[in-house]
Amino acid sequence: MKKRGISPVIATVLLVAMIIVVGLIVFLWFSGMTEETITKFGGTNVKLVCDDVQFQSDYNSGILSIVNIGNVPVFGMKVKIFSEGSHETKNLKDDLSGNWPKLGLNQGGAFSDSIEFAGAEKIVLIPVLMGSSDKGEKTFACEDRYGHEITVE
């Protein structure tokens, strides 16, 4: 009895074709899962730049004050408002104040405006940075741990 199978050449061609197709599928699947990389200052991931943001903030007599004392321009500010066990997030520039500078707070930039946080117990100010990605300029909100917590009296 003679055992016969496909020839080594056909097997190799099939193997190569399968690897290419499977590799392509895995690549497309994986690239869809990974988030878009946003960089700042010539290629540093914006997540790392959040470490270098330095700003001071204060809320007193209904006036919110923020000063950028560092060297990273702060494009915007996310405000997390905590009240009665829940919280909502607002954008300082679009939702709360018309005084926020159009291009954000550059080095030494200061912001001050009368803002009412009715019923709020505390707020957390989270910096938003402007970075670059393959699709152009993009904003990036730093993680909550970079935020400043202010108790609202």
What's the rounded Cα separation, in Å, for the pair 49 and 131?
Answer: 10
67 or 91, CB closer to other proteins? Answer: 67
Three-class SS of residue 85?
A: coil
18 binding other proteins? (CB under 8 A): no
152 binding other proteins? (CB under 8 A): no
Which residue in 22, 69, 89, 116 binds other proteins (CB under 8 A)? Answer: 69
Q: Where are the alpha helices (DSSP H) in the chain?
A: 8-33, 46-49
Burial class (CB in 10 A: 0-12, 13-18, 19+), 113: middle
Q: Where are the alpha helices (DSSP H) in 34-96?
A: 46-49
The interface with other proteins within residues 45-64 (CB under 8 A) comprises 45, 47-48, 51-52, 54, 56-58, 60-61, 63
112 binding other proteins? (CB under 8 A): yes
87 or 132, CB closer to other proteins? Answer: 132
DSSP at 51: G
1 or 84, CB closer to other proteins? Answer: 1
14 binding other proteins? (CB under 8 A): no
Burial class (CB in 10 A: 0-12, 13-18, 19+), 126: buried
Measured CA angle at 111 (ends 108, 117), to 5 deg: 145
Which residue in 83, 109, 115, 122 binds other proteins (CB under 8 A)? Answer: 109
Which residue in 18, 25, 28, 106 binds other proteins (CB under 8 A)? Answer: 106
Site residues (vs other proteins, CB under 8 A): 4, 7-9, 11-12, 15-16, 19, 23, 34, 37, 39, 41-45, 47-48, 51-52, 54, 56-58, 60-61, 63, 65-71, 103, 106-112
